[in-house]
Structure 1
Amino acid sequence: MPYFKKYKNILMLDLLCAGLTTVSEMVLPLILRRLTDVGMNNFSDLTMELVLRLAILFGILKIIDLVAGYYMTSVGHMMGAKIETDMRSDLYTHLQTMSDSFYNETKIGILMSRITNDLFDITEFSHHVPEEYFIGGLKILVSLFILLNINVKMTLLIYIMIPIMIYFASKYQRRMKNAQKEQRVHVGNFNSSIEDTLLGVRVVKSFANEEMELEKFETENEKFLGIKRKYYRSMAGFNTITKLFDGLMYLILIITGGYFMMKREIEAGDLLAYVMYVTSLLNTVKRIVEFTEQFQKGITGIERFEEIMDEKSDIVDSENAVDIGKVEGKIEFRDVTFKYEVDTDNVLEHFNLKIRPGGNIALVGPSGAGKTTICNLIPRFYDVNSGEILVDDKNVKDVTLKSLRDNIGIVQQDVYLFSGTVLDNIRYGKPDATDKEVLRASDLAGATEFIDNLPEKFNTYVGERGLKLSGGQKQRISIARVFLKNPPILILDEATSALDNKSEQVVQESLEELTKGRTTLTIAHRLTTVQNADEIIVMEDRRIIERGTHEELMNKKGRYYDLYTKGGLLDKLN
């Protein structure tokens, strides 16, 4: 209903046109009734003048019918398409606001199905639901009024059958709805499984597991066929019920019509009109029956749309959130405790940390020590359970998410490049950047040299997820992207750990240039990459066990010293 409200004028005109086409259609039996009665009872009154008057009346009504029908088919359908577009836009916008925890629990394939398949049928649904039921209701009421004037007894018998038919048909209708919803759920899971396999096709091939993946696919494919079978059986039962009552109504019409003709309680013209109105009534019921499949698809799509829209993000701007503005880069953790799920252990407990503006801090420690968690809490990808995080002495919960994240740049180990050109991916850091600014960012990231050797330079297509580029090339593009953004706070999440030694050296030089003048948090896998940090923080068991410069920690000969002298790989801590 909220989406109809925006197009209420179009909807009202569409329903007016639906009314005009209905009236035009329902006048024809009255015209034929008039001709038949005059021809059989008062033949002398059947003049060419009468015939022409009735013909002109029908012609005018037919023109009205054509014009109204054109509007309903063109503008009415476009209203449905606009509603579908609005709903898809709202759904996509809503998904952009959801937190990381939502995406951790939801398969992307399912979300893709919600955005695309579930809303495909909204166009037909939005247009035809008000139109079909308005026409159906109008025909039933007008037919009832006219038929009661022809013969009350016959009409009561016919109309008693309609609610009985609806009662039995509704049982199959519910089964159709449940099967349709089950089908949509399965399509989402099916899409997600296919997406997972195709994106990991190299892994599948490397383990020669094509047959196993094919078996999984066939199992899901057969399950999908079973759901379809259940749906079509329900639809067959629904159609059979309606056709049964269709036949019963005509049977009643033949018996009672013949009986009342014998009793002279109904004229030939009246019976002709009566048959035409009952036929029109039954065609209306059939039309609604035929529309039932589309109706169920639309209802299922709307219900699944509502399910996502009713999901509330746990990371939102507070009511009085303010724009943080351009920050200096001071960061403070005050007595922070955090865990990812209600039934899991704390990742951080009463954690405290201060970072001065422009400070270069390195976080080292084994997996699960809380390093990545610290970096995820600063831009509010998650919210702390207790304590607070301050940026420039402002609680991150009291500032808008956009203004906070505008001041933070992140370079991750697993670089994500969008399908598009090199230029598109660098410019993502600042969508309104000029070509000159992009080139400068590329130069600072040490990426221009390899980009100039690409077939179309900056306009080279990188492939899905950047598959056409090496790990080092993708990483330098991601660094150029952050250079273009130019944030005062920088987070480096094991940015070089997945690279070979040569690529790591090139990327490390780019990162050293990037960190100049910025508050930097570095999660390090190789200790040799963090020797120049202002302070190195060693974490273990959700707490800080050592901190200091490289020289201080080496002189202390503690945990960091043991690790460094045994090869400098953090895996040794595990």
Structure 2
Amino acid sequence: MENHVHSALICASRLIRLAGLNPMDIETFSQKVAIDTSVKTTLASLQRYIVQFSQTASVRFKIRKQALEKIRQEQLPLAFRDRQGNFILLARMNEQQVLLQYADDKKPQMLSYQSLADMWGGMILCCSHSRFDIRWFIPPLRRHRKPLMQVLLLSLLLQFLALISPLFFQVIMDKVLVHHALTTLEVLIFILVIVGVYEVILKGLREYIFTHTTTRVDILLGGKLFQHLIRLPLSYFKQRHVGNIVARVRELDNIRDFITGSALTLCVDVVFTLVLFIVMWCISPLLTLIILSTLPFYLLLAVMTTRPLQKKVEALCGFAAQNGAFLTETVSGVETVKSLALEPRMRQRWESQTRDFAQANFQVQNLQNLSSQAAQLLQKVAGALVIVIGAYHVMSVQLSIGQLIAFNMLALQALMPMSKLVDLWQQSIRAQVGLKLISDILSLPVEPEADPAAPHPAISGNILLKNVAFRYRPDLDPVLHDLNLSIRAGEHIGLVGPSGSGKSTVARLLQRLYNTEQGVITIDGYPINHLSPEYLRRQVGVVMQESYLFNRTVRENIAHSRPTATLTEVVNAASLAGANAFILALRESPDLNF
């Protein structure tokens, strides 16, 4: 077997680049670890080199066996080993065609799916960054575990207080009314009033603590999500509609409501149901068995509605994101819409999409309503059986009237969490779909943070681009190919060319908004991949082709990168940009709010 480490390392470096991270220099790494190309390559030695490469690149890679039929779209891009032992990058794939790139080729190529199947060797190399799951929500909840435990404790106390009323009714029916014990009745009524007052106070206190805690959790989760979102590479935002991104961010509310909402308190209700069943068993074992016999039907109901509800919820979320994206695009491009008189066409498209969304929402609501009514039917059937069989027991003096009333009240309390569990199961399906959508944001690697050990040299402006190549997507032709450019500090140059020739691309590469496919860019001799993106961008002055004004004052828009700038500095900056004349003509300038 020939040594194929080099092809694996090239594919690993390309996977890092496609993930939006810093690519690794293969030649430097090969010299650093002293790869011996004269010996045969075994799987163990290949894995050892990949582990060393992972540690050097600060990215975790995995080599494992996997059949081609089991490759999922969310795994792409990845590298696979062909039958000759070479690793090949697989960027995209469908049932007819695949997009792949050989290690020695600079351009990807499109092949048929059958060609991929013929060369598939059964081994894949994938970039394994941390995947988003429900554990992402645990740290903020753990940070507020004390008030959440207080909420659970209050819920438990409320359940015990709710247990008092049925037992008191039993005493009143069997003891007070039979023996005409008015004094005992007055004492029991007084205790019930006190219990009712405490129940109201505890419920109010629980809701206050719960609302206050969830609000603080919302702030932490929202800040954590927004911080991750704005640190994603620019390529993420260029490949997705704004409306789709916003729709995914909004899924955070649904997931948070599920975790900190009814799921939290329902756990106490379900646990306390065991206590209720014990009390009910002490009253009547037969009636308790009737109630317990309905529990498998609740489970069956939840299982039967899972798959269809999940598909309908996914379709609903897709239509909602589609509507949000279309609305955002229409409002942002309203000048184009009006200039081309596209209002009728846009209205028709909006009505069509809204109709699809409404139909999907109706199907979801209809299925949820059907499930809820089925749970209510189970509860009513169980209650009717309890009353009928309990009445026979009362007439045969096996059960008192007070015991029957108390048991019926306890049975309703025990079955209510079961009905809520069916609704909670439906909410969990909605939350699972939300997790899948929001993972599109939180599973992606962000731009590297500022490293205190990274160099922060004073930049004078000597720029060198050496053999630079770049493409925006693997299936597109290169925008830049073997570009060599030297710019001295203080030199004024202009890049001239038609649209799509790469003028703006060069500026984006200099800011590390994108990473080069090959070649190196240096500033004052420092490779920009070794500089912090935040530090580098603060040293580069950029005038955008279309300046975006945020919903702030003129002064705040000018001083975004320097919030502490004085008014004199803001005016000087406006003068340099040639914007002072029209700003001074504005009313309330420079504090006019855009």
TM more than 0.5: yes
Return the letter of the residue paired with 1:308. Answer: I
- Residues 1:115 and 2:249 aligned together: yes
State the match for 1:17 in structure 2.
Answer: 154
- Which secondary structure does the structure 2 equivalent of 1:410 belong to? coil
State the match for 2:313 in structure 1.
Answer: 180
Moved more, 173-182 or 6-15: 173-182
State the match for 1:399 in structure 2.
Answer: 531
Larger radius of gyration: 1
Deviations 1:435-457, CA, capped at 9 Å, x for gaps: 11111222233332232222223
State the match for 1:84 in structure 2.
Answer: 218
For the 8 Å contact 1:125–1:294, the answer to whether it is kept is yes
Q: CA RMSD in A?
A: 2.5
Q: Distance in 2 between matches of 1:284 and 1:445?
A: 65
- Residues 1:191 and 2:336 aligned together: no
Q: Distance in 2 between matches of 1:17 and 1:243?
A: 27
- Which secondary structure does the structure 2 equivalent of 1:333 belong to? strand
Q: 2:188 aligns with which of 36, 39, 54?
A: 54
State the match for 1:247 in structure 2.
Answer: 380
For the 8 Å contact 1:335–1:386, the answer to whether it is kept is yes
Q: Distance in 1 between matches of 2:519 and 2:167?
A: 80
CA spacing shift, 1:365–1:292, aligned 2, 3 Å: same
Moved more, 180-189 or 26-35: 180-189
Deviations 1:360-382, CA, capped at 9 Å, x for gaps: 22222333333322221111011
Deviations 1:283-329, CA, capped at 9 Å, x for gaps: 3444555666666555544443333211224x434878615243111
CA spacing shift, 1:319–1:175, aligned 2, 3 Å: farther
- Which secondary structure does the structure 2 equivalent of 1:327 belong to? coil
Deviation at residue 393 of structure 1 after TM alignment: 1.6
Instruction: Quote the sequence identity (%).
Output: 24
Q: Distance in 2 between matches of 1:323 and 1:155?
A: 73
State the match for 2:234 in structure 1.
Answer: 100
- Residues 1:452 and 2:584 aligned together: yes
Q: 1:271 aligns with which of 376, 400, 404?
A: 404
Structural mapping, 1:303-318, within 5 Å: 303-313=436-446, 315-317=447-449
Return the letter of the residue paired with 1:195. Answer: T
Structural mapping, 1:278-289, within 5 Å: 278-288=411-421
Q: Distance in 2 between matches of 1:131 and 1:318?
A: 38
Return the letter of the residue paired with 1:87. Answer: L
Q: Distance in 1 between matches of 2:497 and 2:527?
A: 27
Q: 2:514 aligns with which of 355, 358, 382?
A: 382
Q: Distance in 2 between matches of 1:434 and 1:93?
A: 28
- Which secondary structure does the structure 1 equivalent of 2:493 belong to? strand
Deviations 1:167-194, CA, capped at 9 Å, x for gaps: 1244225533443333223212201111
Moved more, 276-285 or 16-25: 276-285
Q: Distance in 2 between matches of 1:241 and 1:130?
A: 21
Return the letter of the residue paired with 2:238. Answer: N
For the 8 Å contact 1:321–1:399, the answer to whether it is kept is no
Q: Distance in 2 between matches of 1:293 and 1:159?
A: 22
CA spacing shift, 1:146–1:253, aligned 2, 3 Å: same
Q: Distance in 2 between matches of 1:299 and 1:52?
A: 52
- Residues 1:238 and 2:371 aligned together: yes
Q: Distance in 1 between matches of 2:516 and 2:261?
A: 49
Deviations 1:56-102, CA, capped at 9 Å, x for gaps: 44344333322220122222022223222322222211111111211
Q: Distance in 2 between matches of 1:291 and 1:81?
A: 21
For the 8 Å contact 1:173–1:235, the answer to whether it is kept is no
Deviation at residue 53 of structure 1 after TM alignment: 4.1
State the match for 1:221 in structure 2.
Answer: 354
Deviation at residue 122 of structure 1 after TM alignment: 5.1
CA spacing shift, 1:103–1:58, aligned 2, 3 Å: same
Q: 1:207 aligns with which of 340, 346, 350?
A: 340
Uncovered stretches (5+) of structure 1, i.e. residues with no partner: 463-574
- Which secondary structure does the structure 1 equivalent of 2:542 belong to? strand
CA spacing shift, 1:369–1:448, aligned 2, 3 Å: closer
Q: Distance in 1 between matches of 2:361 and 2:498?
A: 50
For the 8 Å contact 1:323–1:403, the answer to whether it is kept is no
State the match for 2:540 in structure 1.
Answer: 408
State the match for 2:94 in structure 1.
Answer: none
Q: Distance in 2 between matches of 1:353 and 1:18?
A: 69
Q: Distance in 2 between matches of 1:307 and 1:160?
A: 43
Return the letter of the residue paired with 1:101. Answer: S
